[in-house]
Amino acid sequence: MSETETRIVQANDEEMKEAVREACGLLRSGEVVALPTETVYGLAADAFNPDAVARVFEVKERPTFDPLIVHIGSWPDLKKVAVVPDDIEEAVGQVTSEFWPGPLTLVLPKHPDLPDLVTSGLPKVAVRQSGSKVFRAINKELGSAIAAPSANRFGRISPTSAAAVEKELGGRIPLIVDGGACREGLESTIIEILPREGKKPIFKLHRAGPITKEMLQKFGKVEKVKEKVGEAPHAPGQLASHYAPRTPLTLLAKPEDFQPEEGKRYGLMSYRGGDSGPYVDLHEWDVVEALSPGSGKLAEAAVRLFFVMRQLDEAGVDEIIAEPLSETGLGVAIMDRLRRASVKE
């Protein structure tokens, strides 16, 4: 891949117009650019330009069997990228009016005009409307849907800041729009809606995320797709080993299972950190990073997860030990990412 100079432009209030103009200019000419969303940074391309979409796969080194998420600027654009079947129209209306713009992705039958490469040849498309002001402004100004996977190299940690994108893709893309730190920090929840006669629909959960099971239950029956980490993916793209640091990461279910090897350097990913606790007290850690320092709040842990994973990855330890979190609410999505990060290839 030839080296490109990567510019970073700020998208705060004063510089927003300029950033939007610059990003749209590049997207219109078939380039790919990194944009902030409320979940993680995305590597964006005009979804209706197959060459630009192909470039996304190339820049990320992503296998083309792993489909991309399509982002729309406004609700009516949904019909340009997807077909909403009559039997789930009501449910689609309910969840989109509740959670859009926001971190909920729907898997729907694909519109025939959308290039096949976006969905890796699948008959269905994953679509959402981002809750980021900057992203939506670019989406609307472009007047086209945006295909955007997370802006990391394939299988690596998702970026939640412009600096993290630069580490992942610097030299490969012409522009990173800096919208600050992502407020959710975890990729969107992905569901597929299956109709049921006379009952609330089934929401097949393809990926746990910021919109939790508890939040979705009002509208449908959430069913997790059964999957064993380490086995073949249940859904396209949901590969077991994902979000992975270069340093081996072990999710340590019980403190008593820890058997440190002589001479090896260990870093702890702690939930609350602090001076003591069952995991903090286990070992003379080379480094301890806390997901939610002091208070132990799941929302804060979600926002900081990928940032902390990167910090520990860069700390020069031989192994990262991660403390498990309770699997309720956002804890489900956080534990999903930790399990995937801990799969050894």
Interface contacts to ligand TXA, rule CB under 6 A: 37, 39-40, 42, 66-69, 103, 105, 107, 119, 122, 124-126, 148-150, 187-188, 190, 206-207, 235-238
Residue 68 contact, options Mg ion, ligand TXA, none, Cβ 5-8 Å cut-off depending on partner type: ligand TXA
- CB 236: neighbour CB atoms within 10 A? 17
Distance CA 38, CA 107 (A): 19
56 phi and psi angles, rounded to 5 deg: -60, -50
End-to-end CA distance of the chain: 25
> Which residue of the chain is nearest ligand TXA when measured via CB?
237
Using the structure block, give the residue that is written with the tokens 């296998």. Answer: 63
Query: What's the closest the beta carbon of residue 154 comes to Mg ion, in angstroms?
Result: 8
Task: With residue 249 as reference, give the H or E element that holds it.
Answer: strand 249-251
| Three-state SS annotation for 51-87 | HHHHHHHHHHCCCCCCCCEEECCCHHHHHHHECCCHH
Residue 160, interface with Mg ion (CB under 5 A)? no
Query: What's the closest the beta carbon of residue 73 comes to Mg ion, in angstroms?
Result: 21
- Which of 9/340 has CB closer to ligand TXA? 340
Residue 55 contact, options ligand TXA, Mg ion, none, Cβ 5-8 Å cut-off depending on partner type: none
34 phi and psi angles, rounded to 5 deg: -95, 130
Distance CA 98, CA 194 (A): 18
Query: What's the closest the beta carbon of residue 343 comes to ligand TXA, in angstroms?
Result: 15
Query: What's the closest the beta carbon of residue 336 comes to ligand TXA, in angstroms?
Result: 12
- Which of 134/252 has CB closer to ligand TXA? 134
Query: What's the closest the beta carbon of residue 127 comes to Mg ion, in angstroms?
Result: 16
Residue 96 contact, options Mg ion, ligand TXA, none, Cβ 5-8 Å cut-off depending on partner type: none
Distance CA 163, CA 72 (A): 26
Query: What's the closest the beta carbon of residue 202 comes to ligand TXA, in angstroms?
Result: 15
| 283, HSE (Cβ side, Cα atoms, 13 Å) | 24
- Which of 49/62 has CB closer to ligand TXA? 62
The span of 9-17, 148-156, 273-281, 325-333 binding Mg ion (CB under 5 A) equals 148-156
- Label the pairing between strands 202-207 and 42-46: unpaired
Query: What's the closest the beta carbon of residue 268 comes to Mg ion, in angstroms?
Result: 25
Residue 105 contact, options Mg ion, ligand TXA, none, Cβ 5-8 Å cut-off depending on partner type: ligand TXA
Using the structure block, give the residue that is written with the tokens 């939007």. Answer: 20
- Which of 126/268 has CB closer to ligand TXA? 126
Structure tokens at 339: 């399990």
Query: What's the closest the beta carbon of residue 298 comes to ligand TXA, in angstroms?
Result: 18
Residue 325 contact, options ligand TXA, Mg ion, none, Cβ 5-8 Å cut-off depending on partner type: none
Query: What's the closest the beta carbon of residue 313 comes to Mg ion, in angstroms?
Result: 16
- Which of 20/108 has CB closer to ligand TXA? 108
- Which of 174/236 has CB closer to ligand TXA? 236
Closest CA to 211 of 220, 72, 325: 220
| Three-state SS annotation for 126-172 | EEECCCCHHHHHHHHHHCCCEECCECCCCCCCCCCCHHHHHHHHCCC
Report how many residues bind Mg ion under the rule CB under 5 A: 1
Distance CA 305, CA 186 (A): 8
Distance CA 176, CA 161 (A): 10
> Which residue of the chain is nearest Mg ion when measured via CB?
150
Which one among 96, 150, 292, 342 touches Mg ion, defined by CB under 5 A? Answer: 150
- Which of 49/105 has CB closer to ligand TXA? 105
| Residues near Mg ion (CB under 5 A) | 150
